[in-house]
Structure 1
Amino acid sequence: MLFEDGSQIFVTKEMMQRFSLQGKEALSEEEYEELFRYRLRFSAYTWLSKRDYSSWELEVKLSRYCSQKQWISDLLKDLQQKGYLDDYRYAIQWVQSKKYGRVKMEYFLLQKGYSREFVRKVLDEAYQTDTKEIIKIWNTLAKKEKEKRVMALLRKGYHYSEIKKALAEIEE
């Protein structure tokens, strides 16, 4: 559906029936807003059904199709209230699915639009068992010299103090 201002909305058959669009030449402002908000919600549900998004990522994605910041903000609040959009859950799952250290994960999460305080809270929870992960990686690198293994762990984003703690545990 193409509008006078040049904007357009992809309309499904279900939307055609729901909004009685068959044969309509014009829409009132209220009908236009309702149709556009419905389409935004439909798009958000479609994207969220395929994978989780952070609020910031979904906002960026929606803003490509809609210039009305308030509509996007209202939709994001509604999705959060319904439990479809949960930044904390998303961040924890994302961190746990990656095999990087705390420093690298902090960088990635900040790039996703999270605040430093939020990132620290997530990382404190996610990296409670850091030592076990370091020991696991250390053992997979067993054929390499100690110095090279330490450097490999540092490149993965682990702090030197965490590596030393894990090494002390191994030597016990």
Structure 2
Amino acid sequence: MNTNKVLTGIKNEFPNWSNFVENQFYSFSEDVKDILEEQLFKKSIEKFEKMKQQLPSPDGPSFVHMDFRPANIIVDNDKVSGIIDFESVRYGSTEIDFTKLYRDFLSVDVNLYDAYQEGYNSIRPLIDLENVLPFYRFTDAFNSIGWCKRRGIEKNALFLEENLARLEKWLL
């Protein structure tokens, strides 16, 4: 990406990536505080602030999907034939797109995770996932709780429970 080019249809969050991630987190915190017990909420905020300080410089700028997960990847037989749902796309840091894919897909099979890393490295160097994924997995669980409140707790009850369990695992 040419970082000097003015974009009109896609936001360029990369120059202020850490602020973007922080704004996302604190935006969802307004919803999350109504769901979590006060002590768990406070621990979440403390954990976020501590983990944020340990992040390396963001990788990019890159075109990021922001909702890169199996439901948005079209597969025909054993080949990816397309990707859908670009409503949240922007220029940012690549690590954000690994989070949901890891949560929903790569974490369940170490061989698949290894194959993914090998394939990615055949195109460009892969970031140190072991260093950045914990932060993004934690924020994904937290933000997903807020997402469930915004989109309806009852209709997203299973996803809410999964993310509450993930968050508690991170904090306890």
Q: Which has the higher contact order (CA 8 A, sep 6+)?
A: 2
Q: Which has the higher helix share?
A: 1
Q: Which range, TM-score by smaller chain?
A: under 0.3
The structure that has the greater radius of gyration is: 1
